[in-house]
Amino acid sequence: MLNNHKKKIVGLYFNFLIMKKNMLLGAAALAGAGLLYKMHKDGKLDKVEDKVTDFAHKAKKEVKNVVDAGKNEAGYIKDRAEYTADKIHKDLK
């Protein structure tokens, strides 16, 4: 009976520690978000925002170029396959 009581106390203590850790993490995240908001409001993040925006535009353009290159390659392969199939078909006649 005493052993079960000790297990319950230890379990409650660990639950308390986990809850305390979660509260500290939440408070730290809230403080960090508040600091970022204040820096944004003061205009200290404008250069960072510009760099992130430029990076996002470049990444989007690069992805678009890769997709276009893939489409062009697929079209070329399709044309070559049709040409080869037509050539084989003519040779068989």
Q: Where are the alpha helices (DSSP H) in the chain?
A: 2-41, 46-92
> What pTM was computed for the model?
0.46
* Banded model confidence at residue 33, pLDDT cuts 50, 70, 90: very high
Residue 4 clears pLDDT 80, i.e. is over it: no
Residue 2 clears pLDDT 60, i.e. is over it: no
pLDDT at 1: 53
Nearest Cα residue to 39 out of 48, 52, 29, 30: 48
* Banded model confidence at residue 91, pLDDT cuts 50, 70, 90: confident
pLDDT (average), residues 75-92: 90
Average pLDDT along the chain:
88
